[in-house]
A and B are shown apart, each in its own frame.
Chain A
Amino acid sequence: MSQAQEQETVREDGKIRSVSGPVVQAVDLDARMNDVVYVGDEGLMGEVIEIEGDITTIQVYEETSGVGPGEPVMNTGEPLTVDLGPGLLDSIYDGVQRPLDVLESKMDSAFLDRGVDAPGIELDKHWEFTPEVSAGDEVEPGDIVGTVEETVTIDHKVLVPPTFEGGEVTSVESGDFTVEETVVELDNGEEITMRQEWPVREARPSANKKTPREPLVSGQRILDGLFPIAKGGTAAIPGPFGSGKTVTQHSLAKFADADIIVYVGCGERGNEMTEVIDDFPDLEDPSTGNPLMARTSLIANTSNMPVAARESCVYTGITIAEYYRDMGYDVALMADSTSRWAEAMREISSRLEEMPGEEGYPAYLAARLSEFYERAGYFENINDTEGSISAIGAVSPPGGDFSEPVTQNTLRIVKTFWALDADLAERRHFPAINWNESYSLYQSQLDPWFQENVEQDWPEERQWAVDVLDEEGELQEIVQLVGKDALPEDQQLTLEVARYLREGYLQQNAFNPTDMYCPPAKTYAILTAIHKFNDEAFRALEAGVPVDEIADIEAAPRLNRIATQEDWEEYVAELKDTIETQLREKY
């Protein structure tokens, strides 16, 4: 959040009329909806959320203990904005973009104090600006005027703010500058710096949305293999507590082949953010080999932090994502959990005594959710580059029941659904993504990519796996009644094959150093190895080999170990041969 906004229209200050938790009412305040205000003697940051006659209602982003009627309220006259510019990456913010490391040193405490503000990006740091335009060039809003090496991985593109008119470049700087110094000047007097502001609740403009055709490769077998998400796609990952939402989101943040990761920890655990801060600098980005933090921006509004800032944190995140999209990057945004965001809306709404909708959520819940996911997509930018935002939201349904409003309203919007399952999690089948309930509507538009980049028969292999798993589901119902031995031998064999699909293919341990990331080629290789076993086993069965003998061959259990092999190519080749030999020996 920026402080440099006093120069705006001077507006009249008001005073507090009432305080109830995060909701404060003020009188005599001349304000517009969504203006940022400073509340009380301590100047707590808040936002105008309702105006009725002379009474202005404000949601306050900090604790309000001790604040009382009569204290002043000062209006900044500006909506809630984020600071955009170099320095966004490799940093961690609270829900209103205050850098948590800066807060720690400003407050000189490990605990979050009140009334302390800090700019979102460092104002006095010097960055080396390399111009990409020269005097005399015409530039339009959104155009790239130069670059800055923001981190080892990312070249930050300095853009003409979308709100500018554009015109002819009259002077260009080159070299070290702070983000507030002018680096490019236009003939109409507009001065371009490396920093711009944008109101978080408003989408940054784009030229066009296009159909996504490339997968966001996640390195997670069940996702890439069965339920892929596109670059520019949307996904929801709902599940009860402890089913693996956060672990999956973390895996995506680590391994997804996006250029930029924006990770929004919304109303969840402090330690989970600490884990990211600790792990990411030491982990390698699989596509560049650089530290993961170099492409990551973290937003942390943990569950014990003020509830109003929980409402704003997803907007802060998506605005940062849009900014990098505008530079032509593929951005992936994870929000964990969107339910906490929805609950924050509910809490504020109920303090406002608005008419509650389903389960007490405000009537505008569905609209807010779809506005948010609409900001994702594969875009043609206003500067003619292409960029994407993939948005992946965790959902935490009460009691794990997917029929509740947040899950249902989310499912109406997103195109990928990864359903987590408490039963699978209980038996430590991870990721506990239920393969019967989950789906991806991107599958067919992404198949050509997998065919071209992995193997031609990718779709057929996948279909084979899906069929076997389906059949297993049906057979299991019978087994529950009569036991496995009562089934005909070919069906028993199908169960055996399906078990390898579940254990060797679908399961993936996020904490195993080798298995945590599985490139698509390996995903494919594991599948074909199990398929090979299937084909050889059924041949043996037809030749009269009893199913027990088939299942007992020495090589079969090794199908479950491919995932943890570093040199999986050799291992798979060798394993396929051994399976063939061992089974053919039997007849």
Chain B
Amino acid sequence: MKEYKTITEISGPLVFAEVDEPVGYDEIVEIETPNGETKRGQILESEEGVVAIQVFEGTTGIDKNASVRFLGETMKMPVTEDLLGRVLDGSGRPIDGGPEIVPEEREDIVGAAINPYSREYPEEFIQTGVSGIDGMNTLVRGQKLPIFSGSGLPHNELALQVARQATVPEEAAEEGEDASEFAVIFGAMGITAEEANEFMEDFEQTGALERSVVFMNLADDPAVERTVTPRMALTTAEYLAFEKGYHVLVILTDITNYCEALREIGAAREEVPGRRGYPGYMYTDLAQLYERAGRIKGREGSVTQIPILTMPGDDDTHPIPDLTGYITEGQIMLDRGLNSQGVEPPIDVLPSLSRLMDDGIGEGLTREDHADVSDQMYAAYAEGEDLRDLVNIVGREALSERDNKYLDFAERFEEEFVDQGYDTNRSIAETLDIGWELLSTLPKTELNRVDEELIEQYYQDTDSEEAEEVAAD
């Protein structure tokens, strides 16, 4: 392999070098600094005679005397089932002191798109044990459902709870299993060492590490490396799911750091920036990550994604949550207000959504009343929430009896339905039963989104009379 000492320019994460042979776009480059350190990079633009290289580990230490080698192939991830239980750095190299990884295959990390014709529509209910998700925003196998959070909010706790508790009840019952049957791929991008420890400790304590592969790019690791970490993670996930038949849950955190890295590279390339300085192709780039979730016809496994992102300024119209929401199949929204009220997990169900819910729930899947219950609770909670503003102005007394019931409903919904703590694992039946308990505080005639037969079956009459009395005094 030819070595070049032809670097002409170094700018931010980019290096430009002259070449006398053609180099393929996207291919991998190794750069050896004068003090012997080897850094890896990727071809961003290839012209006759000159290439632009994006360096993953940062350009510190590179000078014009550094030597450049072109490996003649695009970035690959060595994959094998033996990766389970291992901890790797953000570019896929082991950092757990374990044995060297002997790959079964080396897969291109820029995964090819799944042919939409070959997909299988995801519709198997995953019970996370969290009412705010299972009852109102149901997750299914093969879905991509991000957590939209803010800095300082307990998104990690929620993600860990889901990773611990997630099961597919039907299969668990058949096979007599009760533990989670998901393999977990954890891709950390620019998170703090402290956060990383939180995850690692939980994985170790619960024994989850054995069925996990951890990719760690921490806050003080090079930012550009963050652009490969999720691709490494997803390539591993696809291999385990579609070659080895695992049901894989991929947790990616924090997508915001990933996007910052994209922005940095874009700026270094002097590209015309899009909204708020992020590259115009960020939608496409994010889609190439998120769309790697799914199921494939005739294959056993599945890739379910729970990306976590912190919304800058808690603003869901910021390009990072906005573009994400346009690609993912819904979102779980955490709320600062609920968090300070002590609601655990502080899921705000109103702006949350699971688009794959409709096909994943109902008779034979969860329970026949699921859709109606969740629909009605949405409407009732929204109404109660609205009234809160009014109450602040006119006071409770000025409101009708009906309005007061909705206010009570909203309160109990947060305290009893959403607030369950991070250690409570509720079955879907428990979740729906709590739902009925709350709905039964409203008069039957208000439940216009619930089938009349279901009202007959589940509505708890006595409770409602009591509630009426309470509201009356």
Tell me the A residues contacting B by CB distance below 8 Å. 16-21, 63-71, 92, 100-101, 103-104, 107, 109-113, 240-242, 265, 267, 269-271, 273-275, 277-278, 300, 302-305, 307, 340, 343, 346-347, 350, 356, 359-360, 396, 398-401, 426-428, 479-486, 503, 511, 554, 557, 560-561
1/0 per residue, CB under 8 A from A, across B108-125: the answer is: 101111111111111000
Residue contact A65 to B110, C-beta cutoff 8 Å: yes
8 A Cβ contacts from B269-306 to A: 271-275, 280-281, 283-284, 287-288, 291-292, 294, 296-297, 299
Residue contact A399 to B317, C-beta cutoff 8 Å: yes
Contact of B116 among A277, A396, A486, A511 (CB under 8 A): A277
Stretch at the interface among B10-18, B84-92, B253-261, B353-361: B353-361
Chain B residues with Cβ under 8 A from A426's Cβ? Answer: 350-351, 382
Chain A residues with Cβ under 8 A from B142's Cβ? Answer: 271
> Among B111, B112, B296, B322, which residue has the most Cβ atoms of chain A within 10 A?
B112
**Could you give 8 example pairs across A and B, Cβ below 8 Å?**
A16-B22, A92-B117, A270-B116, A300-B117, A304-B114, A304-B284, A347-B280, A360-B280
Contact of B403 among A16, A428, A484 (CB under 8 A): A484
Q: How far is the CA of A401 from the CA of B359 in the complex (A)?
A: 30
Chain A residues with Cβ under 8 A from B326's Cβ? Answer: 241, 396
> Among B108, B273, B283, B375, which residue has the most Cβ atoms of chain A within 10 A?
B283
B129 CB, min distance to chain A CBs, angstroms: 24
- 19 further A-B contacts with Cβ under 8 Å, apart from A69-B48, A304-B284, are A16-B22, A64-B26, A68-B23, A69-B46, A70-B48, A92-B117, A110-B242, A240-B322, A271-B294, A271-B329, A277-B117, A303-B327, A304-B113, A427-B382, A427-B383, A428-B382, A483-B390, A483-B403, A485-B399
Residue contact A304 to B117, C-beta cutoff 8 Å: no
Residue contact B288 to A304, C-beta cutoff 8 Å: yes
A343 CB, min distance to chain B CBs, angstroms: 6
A552 CB, min distance to chain B CBs, angstroms: 8
Residue contact B322 to A19, C-beta cutoff 8 Å: no
Contact of B448 among A240, A359, A557 (CB under 8 A): A557
Chain A residues with Cβ under 8 A from B230's Cβ? Answer: none
Assess whether B44 is interfacial by the CB under 8 Å rule. Answer: yes
Q: How far is the CA of A65 from the CA of B28 in the complex (A)?
A: 11
Assess whether B436 is interfacial by the CB under 8 Å rule. Answer: no
Residue contact B22 to A303, C-beta cutoff 8 Å: no
Residue contact B281 to A17, C-beta cutoff 8 Å: no
Chain B residues with Cβ under 8 A from A278's Cβ? Answer: 121
**Total residue contacts A-B, CB cutoff 8 A:** 221
Assess whether B445 is interfacial by the CB under 8 Å rule. Answer: yes
Residue contact A111 to B112, C-beta cutoff 8 Å: yes
Residue contact A302 to B113, C-beta cutoff 8 Å: yes
Assess whether B421 is interfacial by the CB under 8 Å rule. Answer: no
> Among A265, A343, A360, A399, which residue has the most Cβ atoms of chain B within 10 A?
A399
Residue contact B25 to A68, C-beta cutoff 8 Å: yes
Residue contact B399 to A483, C-beta cutoff 8 Å: yes
A91 CB, min distance to chain B CBs, angstroms: 10
1/0 per residue, CB under 8 A from A, across B307-346: the answer is: 0000000000111001101110111000000000000000
Provided the pairs A401-B317, A428-B378, A485-B399 are in contact, do residues A110 and B116 lie with their beta carbons within 8 angstroms? no
Residue contact A66 to B283, C-beta cutoff 8 Å: no
Chain B residues with Cβ under 8 A from A300's Cβ? Answer: 116-117
Contact of A428 among B113, B379, B398, B399 (CB under 8 A): B379
Chain A residues with Cβ under 8 A from B117's Cβ? Answer: 92, 100-101, 103-104, 274, 277, 300
Chain B residues with Cβ under 8 A from A65's Cβ? Answer: 24-27, 74, 108, 110
Residue contact B116 to A398, C-beta cutoff 8 Å: no
B263 CB, min distance to chain A CBs, angstroms: 14
